[in-house]
Chain A
Amino acid sequence: DQQVKQNSPSLSVQEGRISILNCDYTNSMFDYFLWYKKYPAEGPTFLISISSIKDKNEDGRFTVFLNKSAKHLSLHIVPSQPGDSAVYFCALNAGNNRKLIWGLGTSLAVNP
């Protein structure tokens, strides 16, 4: 039973447009939400995060939105760049116990 779902395995967007990556979860105990970016044959790198007391967090071209009532998290990248092409994972934490629950990832391709 998957607690964290990224329903789109892949996404393709044109350079300069907006990329929207989605993540749904089932457990209302999650209170900290992170997005990681991963290139092939490398470890994931932290991108942006949000706590449950907020509904939006912005860092440059990256914005994360949290809709707690819908148990839905999204990452917006605007404008998208070819270097953003990677796999994006959402990872969720409950109670700061240092364990993360991961989605399966969405592979983003940004086309020049």
Chain B
Amino acid sequence: DGGITQSPKYLFRKEGQNVTLSCEQNLNHDAMYWYRQDPGQGLRLIYYSQIVNDFQKGDIAEGYSVSREKKESFPLTVTSAQKNPTAFYLCASSPRGGVRDYTFGSGTRLTVV
């Protein structure tokens, strides 16, 4: 079955540590996205990539970094520069041609203590 896998589902880290969230898709989608959701907030775009080896900042990229070395994978690193990293992180992908087949992973809840 095709889909997007985010791992782990829950992640705990100490303040000041970098942490990397995994996102893998086997849908053969060109574009991949990282969103953050906070309580009472909508989804805010962190980074997106429309093709391998290329990515663009979204609306709240500060304190985050990404890479897109393979079509299937789009890992997100939450760095120590991110002032409020505790949140629910969602990865999504879409095929070339638009947003009609936007598919989400099940998310990673990151808690920084």
Query: Are the C-beta atoms of A98 and B43 separated by less than 8 Å?
Result: no
Known: A43-B92, A49-B100, A104-B42. A99 touches B105 (CB 8 A): no
Contact-size category for A: 20 to 34
State which residues 1-36 of B face A: CB under 8 Å.
Answer: 4, 6, 9, 31
Contact between A34 and B99, CB atoms less than 8 A apart: yes
B94 cross-chain contacts in A, Cβ below 8 A:
98
Chain A residues near B91 (CB, 8 Å)? 43
> Residue B71 at the A interface, CB < 8 A?
no
Residues of A within 8 A of B (CB): 4, 9, 32, 34, 41-46, 49, 89, 91, 93, 96, 98-100, 102-105
Binding site for A on B (CB under 8 A): 4, 6, 9, 31, 40-45, 48, 50, 88, 90-92, 94, 97-107, 109
Offer 8 A-B interface pairs, CB within 8 angstroms, sorted by A.
Answer: A9-B40, A41-B9, A41-B88, A42-B107, A43-B92, A91-B43, A96-B98, A98-B94
